[in-house]
Amino acid sequence: MRVIITGAGGFIGRLLVEQLQRAGTLRGSPIQKLILLDFKLHGFAADSRLRLHEGDITDATLLRRTLADGADVVFHLAGLLESAAEKQYAQGRKINLMASLELLDQLRNREKPPIVVFASSVSVYGPDLPARVDEHVALKPHTSYGAHKLMIETHLIDLTRRNELDGRSLRFPELVARPGASNDFAGSCVSNLIRAVTESSRYVCPLSPSAKAWCMSARRCVENLVHAAELVTSEALRCWQLPVLQVTVGEVFEALIEEFGEARRSLISFEVGAEPEGSPIRSSLLRAPTAKALGFMHDGTVQLLIRNALNLPSRPRRTRANHS
């Protein structure tokens, strides 16, 4: 089993590498090579299965070198984050769209189509959503990032139809607790809130406690990525909205105070009304029955979201949140 991970040096990529190293197998077969691609790769535990390819994913020659030995499963996680991609259109297009198209083109194989698990995003939905969002809602992205994600989803569906790849796209919500998150998009504020309370640092949250976000812990995200790669399905349309936990900022804050103590409450203040660009997506209730039926999962409760995000042992809690 040869596994490739693009964006392996990133927030989710590192956790996925660690998970696969621990498991040692994927789809019932031993992992013989774990091939990592990112601009910088450092700090990984010594492992004879690792093959490191450092460089720019937009370099087609680097991609050919990385894929030279072939692949059975590819996790395509590399990308420029939404806020940066919106501010730097040319760079976002180059990384999120053109490099992804080149990667998929180089992976095409009719004799043995590799499984490609693509990290897409809820940004494909856009603003002005109905009160209840399900897996059949119209897709109307309003950022370049969301548009590029949708383009790659569509291309992957077509290559799967042609039996050249075995594509599986997962639409991720905000993943917490992302380090160094900006305040440009609503869900990122949840990551910043978690980090601030955990590290006992001051933070002015640009959202009211009643503001809502769609969230998933990094740990649960990795579990869903592995599940997507191992899933046996005959569905032609292999693009799934992951189940999400819909939480309010206030629920997250109170759960953090319960976890870390009242002394940290005074570190956080809320600047009501200064809401970031990504705010329209928060208020809708998202349901993903198809993905749930296939075994994809959210974190369950706001307390488990926090504990999973911080890699703490799980324990029973009382507070509940709306979730799909």
Point out the residues that are catalytic: 145
In the chain, the largest separation of any two C-alpha atoms, in whole Å, equals 61
* DSSP of 226-243: HHHHH-----S--EEEPP
Angle at which helix 249-260 crosses helix 186-198, to 10 degrees, equals 10
| 3-state SS track over 166-221 | EEEEEEECEEECCCCCCCCCHHHHHHHHHHHHHCCCCEEECCCCCCEEEEEEHHHH
CA 287 – CA 135 distance, rounded (Å) = 7
Structure letter (DSSP) for residue 67: T
CA 33 – CA 18 distance, rounded (Å) = 14
* Contacts of residue 171, Cβ cutoff 8 Å, sequence gap at least 6: 120, 121, 122, 124, 239, 240, 241, 242
Instruction: Give the helix/strand (H/E) hosting 38.
Output: strand 33-38
